[in-house]
Structure 1
Amino acid sequence: MAESFKPTPSLRSEKVEKITRDVLYWRRMKQLAIFQEPGNITSTSFPPSKDSGLVAVTSSVKLSLYDPCTSELITSYSRSKQSVYGARFRNDGRLIAIGGEEGKVKIFDVKNYGSSATGSKAPLRNYPAHSSAVHTVLFSASGKRLITMGDDHKICVFDITETKGDPCIVFENAHNDHMRCGDASAINENLFASGSYDHSAKIWDARNEEKQELLKINHGSPIEQVLFLPGDTFLITAGDHLIKIWNIARGGRLSHVMCNHHKTVTSLCLASNGTRLLSAGLDKRINIFSLNTGDYKLLYSLTMPAAILTLAISKNDMYMAIGMGNLLSIFRREPSTPMEISLSEAKIQNAGLEYRRKIRVAAPKPRAQERGGSRKTIEITAPAVDKNRIGRIDHLLRQYCHWKAIDVLFKGKYYVSAKPDLIVATFTEIHKRRALAVALAGRKYDTIRPITMFLLRNLFLPNYFPMLSVVAETLFDVYGDKVLDHQTLKLFQKLTEAVNREHIVQKNLLQLQGALEILFTMSRSYKNYYSDNDNEIFGDVSITPLPFSMNEKDHLENDLENFKEDLPMNGINNGHRERCK
């Protein structure tokens, strides 16, 4: 029986795409519903409690409450005369506060909000807090205080347990420009932060009698969002396309800068119990960063169809609300996939993704039925014959279509960008058959250029150089005395210049190696000269450096010199000039 065709072996690439648990976790976030609002969405907010299934949205003059589980509108409030901003839930999820263009701050009872029992949508509190628009309202850690920040450069603190509408604390001239963001500490009743368009973020203490900030941070651009990290040790500021992390415990020292966005960052929020940071911007991207590893690594990115104005995520990471213009998009996390479950089990057993391949799934047993009888399960005892399936390139090599195989490899960008190992393996197989010159000859200019560009990118890679150097020499031998167009000739010249640069680099490395060997030799001589006074207790400590051998480098330099001399660029240029005359 004839032996089946053996597929072409390819070199293993060192680039490995890691499928981590975070990728599988955030990949399950799928769009559930889209709602259209009367104007641009100015804020989205989820309650801090895990058991509350609500999301608040402000747009134009309306405050809306949605149920993300059923994707239905629960109720809405639209009695404001001007736009409303900055919806924020209290920690227990029972109260919600909003600001507005009128300068008033209103607090509503979420549990009885527009219910049939009361039939009223009147706010519990209505504070005429500021003389201009209020974009940011915050609840303190206990929920008994309300912090408001207005465009009149003032910060007011209200005690919501009292019925009077006067603020108990007022910070005059807190900033020199509009304040559009802020955050309150989750563990300290009196600590909160504010961000402004004057490029500064400030940390305040309500107990400070001097009404001055505790710390001032210069972000360098208008600040769109500020956020406390768990523990109140770090503060995150977002402005322009940069996200900066500041160490408050060390006097506001800059700890890290993240520049993964291309346009202005508009929203920040925490997820996964404060171990993940989500950022959204006008570049239509949502980036997820790691906060518990210390390197603030980008774990995953989501791409949206439009610029993102607001972003909020629920406490249990189950739902996510995204405001894009006048559209509200609600995302819901799907159940765990088998790959994610396998990865969790593999992590417990200290194994990798290959653990999933070990899980055997029993094939369904075939059933047969005779005429007039009942269906019975039968056992197949005949061994299954393995089919030797080969790819398209191996199929062409099997038919000795070398010219066609190279044409298929360089016809598109798939093999060049995704499978360079297969290209090198194909060249190796054709070279073994002594058909490389025939496979490269007789080509048009548009098929020569991709081969030359591939050589420019991958010629000097260690795994590819032995074979690609032969391909380059053959290419120069075949087209060295032929007339080439301007673009192809320019690529050949770039290839020659790349070889010359590599030759210079190797020469400099050899010179550096020789200088190091001289230093090592002098070090050994110096050590032998002062080796008379040996230590009688511990003996003499001998440090002997290992000099590099020059044999392999000399051989590599000779190969590069021979390869450089074999390039007939002078012949190409002269022949091209004579035919142009």
Structure 2
Amino acid sequence: MAEPGTYKKLQIKQFPVRGLRETAEGRYWRGFESPQVVQQVGGVTHVDFMQESPYDFAITSSTRVFLYNGKTKKMKKQFTRFKDKAYSGCLRSDGKVIAAGGETGLVQVFDAGSRSVLRQLEGHTRPVHTVKFGTDKLHVFSGGDDATARWWDVATGAQLTRLDGHSDYIRAAAASPVGPEMWATGGYDHTCNLWDVRSGGSTVLSVNHGAPIEDVAFFPSGSLMATAGGTSVCIWDVLGGGKLLRRVTSHQKTVTCVKIIADIGPPSLLGGEDAPNASTRMITGSLDGHLKIYDLDKFQVCHASKYPGPILSLGLSGDCGTMAVGLANGILSIRNRKKPRDTVLDLSGDPAAPSRAVRRRRVPSMNTGAYRYFMRGQGAKAGASDFKVTAQRRAKLAVFDKKLRTFHKAEALDAALATGQPEVVVSVLEELAAMGCMQDAIAGRDAFGLAPLLSFLCRFLTEPRYVRLLLTVAQQMLDVYGGVVGQAPAVDEKLRLLKERINVELLAQQDLFAVQGMLDTLLAGSMR
């Protein structure tokens, strides 16, 4: 038996990291909790948040518009005064009034509290797919399949302006943040028109997206505009005469919605010095089920999420605390951002600086009743002139190390399997193989002792990092126990599962060899 002082601890195998290191941007967006899923009666075609606290939001599904509480995320009202499908249910900025279009061409305005119909705006001859409140809270903008957009006075119910300029359905509209009279509309005629509702219906600017436009959004400055349609999102310079600045193509199917977020939150809440700056982000949703966030400094995707269905609509609250995504299969996904455990309000002396929540670590008081009082100075470092006495610490051995040191091979393997860490098990198996006692560690086991080893092989045999070693282990195990197969049902079930895993891996290898042959042919042809 080896002396304790001569035994060297087993070096656990280390493998390269599989994926890229998670960035601060990814940590921020992963800070949203697991989604709260609500099944609706039909596809959720529109999500709209009110701009003031408590950030209630309205969603449109089939023939109804639902109003959700921004704090509890529970439905509190539903509006059913529609003869057919409802479209584009939107909240006024104060959340007291709701407007929605419909299949019949009627635009209805509801009282959010009593659910009573305040106004019915008649004028469209075909379905109205987009309805927006003006920033002055007194007007409504609508666009429909009759290729017209209309500007309404809510107080009187009168149509103030009719905008003619599209040759196909109008499916998107957005108000410019620099002026309540400037509106942009996107249609299925591939064009996005900029209007001044004071001019009686003349087009200020028109750009061609190149595909049917599903959504339009302005940047906070109002000088840039984004249009979504087809598989691309286009960024336009409004002040530069409609110059195309960038075409972003990162989706595989039609982009159905686009949102511009002016401020994603204070950097102090995002994870430290490497957190993303509080700057503008663009969010897009597509029929391919992917939600993507773009850093607009480089127009690159900085985070992406996959949803269980085609995305039709999305919305984000003003404080970036709640994200709601509507899917074509009727699922409404609501995600809340995790709040810091300890936040205080940073009230700076500068009145121009906004108050923001800053995370601070709570430091316990130092007194004789605290454990830290008696342990103070433990982490102090020695000075340059101090004499440092290094204490020789005795190596703390793991259970499998102790068993290997005493040559209890089977018990060492059992201890490694008990850790549940594949790197530890593989390291112990390699050490047993180097000692030439692999078969001794496997032999002499009953059905109870074989179960953990068979479970490990079934789970990790097809793992590329372990397959070479584990195939040898599986072969030796079959050589030892091949004559007693069929006596224990539990062991037989594990062996059947192991056989299925091996067959699946063989089929995958055959497909990969076929692909490799095709690539070799193509590469050989390109070399000529």
Shorter-chain TM-score range: 0.5 to 0.7
Which of 226, 230, 240 is the aligned partner of 1:236?
226
Please report the RMSD computed on the Cα atoms of aligned residues, expressed in angstroms: 4.2
Q: Residue 284 of structure 1 aligns with which residue? A: 289
Cα distance change on mapping 1:412 and 1:29 into 2, 3 Å: same
Provide the C-alpha distance between the structure 2 equivalents of 1:53 and 1:129, rounded to a whole number of angstroms. Answer: 31
Deviates more, 1:327-336 or 1:145-154: 327-336
Q: 2:465 aligned to 415, 433, 441, which one?
A: 415
Asked if structure 1 preserves the Cα contact closer than 8 Å seen for 2:13 and 2:427, the reply is no
**How far apart, in 1, do the equivalents of 2:84 and 2:224 lie?**
36
Task: Report the AA paired with residue 244 of structure 1.
Answer: C
Aligned residues of 1:141 and 1:185 also touching (Cα < 8 A): no
Residue 89 of structure 2 is aligned to residue 87 of structure 1? yes
Q: CA contact under 8 A between 1:396 and 1:402: conserved in structure 2?
A: no
Going from structure 1 to structure 2, the CA distance change for 1:393 and 1:256 (only over 3 Å counts) comes to same
2:162 paired residue among 152, 165, 170:
170
Q: How many residues align?
A: 382
CA-to-aligned-CA distance 1:133-152 (integer Å, 9 cap, x gap) = 11111222322321111111
Contact 1:100 1:135 in 2 (8 A): yes
Distance 1:253 1:415, change over 3 A: farther
What is the aligned counterpart of 1:320 among 323, 329, 336? 323
Higher helix share: 1
1:215 aligned onto 2:265: no
CA deviation digits over 1:206-253, x for unaligned, max 9?
Answer: 2335x3322211111111111111111111111122112112222222
Tell me how far apart the structure 2 counterparts of residues 96 and 254 of structure 1 sit (CA, whole Å): 35
1:182 and 2:173 are equivalent in the alignment:
yes
Question: Residues 12 and 84 from structure 1, CA distance in 2 versus in 1: closer, same or farther, beyond 3 angstroms?
Answer: closer
Q: Aligned runs of 1:253-292 on 2, under 5 Å?
A: 253-271=243-261, 273=263, 275-291=280-296
The residue number in structure 2 matching 1:17 is 20
Matches of 1:152 and 1:58, distance apart in 2: 21
- 1:296 alignment partner, one of 283, 296, 299: 299
Pairing 1:372-387 to 2, within 5 Å after superposition: 385-387=395-397
Q: Check whether the contact 1:46–1:313 (CA below 8 A) recurs between aligned residues.
A: yes
Contact 1:194–1:203 (CA under 8 A) maintained in structure 2: yes
Distance across 2 between alignment mates of 1:489 and 1:91: 59
Partner of 1:335: helix, strand, or coil? coil
Aligned with 1:43: secondary structure?
strand
| Counterpart residue number, 2:130 | 136
Higher strand fraction (1 or 2)? 2
1:146 to 2:140 alignment: yes
CA-CA distance at 1:286 after TM superposition: 1.1
TM-score for the superposition, normalised by structure 1: 0.58
- Is the 8 Å Cα contact of residues 28 and 336 (structure 1) preserved in structure 2? no
- Pick aligned residue for 1:52 from 27, 51, 54: 54
Long gaps (5+) in structure 1: 115-120, 339-363, 366-380, 423-446, 455-484, 505-581
Looking at structure 1, the residues matched to 432 and 216 of structure 2 have their Cα atoms a distance apart, in angstroms, of 65
Change (3 A) 1:146 1:490: closer
User: Residues 359-438 of structure 1 correspond to what in structure 2 (within 5 A)?
Assistant: 385-387=395-397, 391-401=424-434, 412-415=462-465
Task: State the TM-score, normalizing by the size of structure 2.
Answer: 0.63
Residue 45 of structure 1: how far off its partner (Å): 0.9
| Secondary structure at 2:29 match in 1 | helix
Contact in 1 for aligned 2:48/2:58 (Cα 8 Å) = yes
Amino acid of the structure 1 residue aligned with 2:462: G
How far apart in 1 are the matches of 2:466 and 2:236?
Answer: 44
Q: 1:387 to 1:248 in 2, by over 3 A?
A: farther
Shift of 1:392: 4.1
Which aligned segments of 4 or more residues in structure 1 are displaced greater than 4 angstroms?
Answer: 8-13, 381-385, 487-495
Per-residue Cα deviation, 1:376-411 (whole angstroms, up to 9, x for no partner): xxxxx997743367834443443454999xxx9x96
Output the CA distance in 1 between the equivalents of 2:516 and 2:126. Answer: 64
Closer, same or farther: CA 255–493 of 1 in aligned 2, 3 Å = closer
